[in-house]
């Protein structure tokens, strides 16, 4: 299947803030930059408060529901700037061209509707109301749910966490979206079920050609299933590259994240942690926001604005201005 040369979605210099009537606007994301290509699986990683979920909400048009607002920058989806899109435009995109799998399997499904009713609602978004029951069954088959006839009649509380997450994925796939955003879809699930959900997402990407954005804290998971990785820190994109390229990171924060991975820790040894604390949202120091925790920090790292990503879009990019010193880490 051929794909267009241009990216499916482009995040360009996006700044997100929460306006307040009596206080200055709180900036929560600044300098977010990355692309997602057709049929590609991209992982977005970073500590809590780095801006991952807010970027996610920007791509599905639900930012204002949380009090947020895009202050500047562009969100280009198939040539259309969604940063300034109307509610009518989002109504035609959200749940259709752009699907969403929420963070919690417990909070996702509507507790008062049967699974069949929820799938029916999702399928009506396609505009085709024929054979909805048969198509609902096909969606449950697609996400590897057994005893489809029984599950269709059940309510969310009667299903396990893994089953509920599969239902949410089925709802998101009802309109055959070009982009599927999965915000930490394995949160609260046991390791075996996490693996099954990831295998399912990989199969969906392979068979349907759907581009997938995977938000996660789990670097091992990202390495296993994604093509490229976007690293966020303190509201900014600090590194973008393929999984292979990030085996040799070009930013101290990415190196620190990799070093603190539990899956590479030696049994009985002390776990490696990132020194210091992540800066509070919007309370960022001058210059590089990782400078206070960086082991190769230089005087020019602490002045001016946060560094821009260095490198052309689609290549290995880093916001570190002293990559020549990375061998010291």
Instruction: Look at residue 209 in the predicted model and tell me its pLDDT.
Output: 92
Beta-carbon contacts of 84 under 8 Å, excluding residues fewer than 6 positions away, are none
Compute and round to an integer the Cα radius of gyration of the chain: 21
pLDDT at 106: 65
Tokens standing for residue 256: 């620190």
Lowest mean pLDDT among 35-44, 190-199, 279-288: 190-199
Whether residue 276 has pLDDT greater than 70: yes
Please tell me the distance from the alpha carbon of residue 71 to that of residue 277, in angstroms, as a whole number: 27
Q: Are 221 and 45 in contact (CB under 8 A)?
A: no
Residue 102: predicted pLDDT: 82
pLDDT at 11: 96
**Is residue 283 packed enough to be buried (19+ CB in 10 Å), middle (13-18) or exposed (0-12)?**
exposed
Q: Tell me: the pLDDT tens digits for 127-163? A: 777 789 998 999 999 898 989 999 999 999 999 888 8
If one counts every other C-beta atom within 10 angstroms of the C-beta of residue 128, the result is 11
- How sure is the predictor about 278, in pLDDT bands with cuts at 50, 70 and 90? confident
CA atoms within 13 A on the CB side of 216: 23
For residues 236 and 240, give the distance between their C-alpha atoms in angstroms, rounded to a whole number: 11
pTM given for the model: 0.90
pLDDT at 49: 87
Q: What is the pLDDT of residues 184-232, one digit of tens each?
A: 887 777 788 888 888 889 988 998 999 999 998 888 889 889 999 999 9
pLDDT of residue 318: 96
Going by pLDDT thresholds of 50, 70 and 90, the confidence category of residue 114 is very high
In this predicted structure, what is the pLDDT of residue 185? 84
Per-residue pLDDT tens for 67-111? 899 999 999 999 999 999 999 999 889 988 999 988 776 667 889
Predicted confidence band of residue 3 (pLDDT cuts 50, 70, 90): low
pLDDT of residue 294: 94
Predicted confidence at residue 105, as pLDDT, reads 63
Provide mean pLDDT across the span 64-69: 88
| Percentage of the chain modeled with pLDDT above 70 | 98
Mean of all residue pLDDT scores within the chain: 90
Token duo for residue 62: 């639900």
Percent of the chain at pLDDT exceeding 90: 57
Could you tell me if 176 and 3 are in contact, meaning their C-beta atoms sit under 8 angstroms apart?
A: no
User: Quick one: tokens of 3?
Assistant: 């794909």
């Amino acid at each position: 299947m051929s794909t267009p040369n241009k990216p499916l979605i482009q995040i360009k210099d996006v700044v997100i803030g929460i306006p307040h009537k009596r206080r200055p606007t709180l900036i929560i994301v600044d300098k977010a930059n990355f692309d997602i290509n057709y049929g590609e699986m991209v992982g977005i990683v970073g500590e809590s408060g780095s801006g991952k979920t807010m970027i996610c909400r920007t791509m599905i048009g639900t930012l204002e529901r949380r009090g947020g607002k895009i202050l500047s920058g562009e969100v280009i989806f198939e040539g259309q700037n969604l940063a300034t899109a109307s509610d009518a435009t989002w109504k035609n995109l959200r749940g259709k061209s752009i699907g969403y799998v929420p963070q919690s399997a417990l909070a996702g499904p509507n507790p008062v509707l049967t699974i069949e009713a929820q799938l029916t609602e999702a399928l009506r978004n396609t505009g085709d109301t024929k054979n909805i029951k048969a198509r609902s069954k096909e969606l449950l088959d697609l996400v590897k749910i057994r005893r489809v006839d029984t599950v269709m009649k059940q309510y969310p509380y009667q299903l396990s966490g893994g089953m509920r997450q599969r239902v949410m994925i089925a709802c998101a796939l009802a309109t055959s979206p070009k982009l599927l955003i999965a915000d930490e879809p394995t949160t609260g699930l046991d390791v075996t079920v996490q693996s099954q959900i990831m295998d399912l997402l990989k199969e969906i990407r392979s068979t349907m050609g759907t581009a997938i954005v995977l938000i996660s804290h789990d670097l091992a998971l990202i390495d296993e299933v994604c093509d490229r990785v976007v690293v966020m820190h303190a509201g900014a994109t600090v590194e973008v590259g393929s999984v292979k390229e990030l085996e040799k990171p070009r930013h101290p924060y990415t190196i620190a994240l990799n070093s603190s991975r539990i899956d590479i820790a030696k049994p009985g040894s002390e776990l490696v942690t990132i020194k210091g604390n992540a800066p509070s949202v919007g309370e960022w120091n001058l210059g590089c926001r990782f400078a206070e925790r960086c082991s190769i920090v230089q005087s020019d790292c602490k002045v001016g604005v946060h560094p821009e990503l260095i490198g052309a879009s689609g290549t290995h990019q880093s916001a570190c201005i002293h990559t020549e010193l990375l061998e010291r880490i």
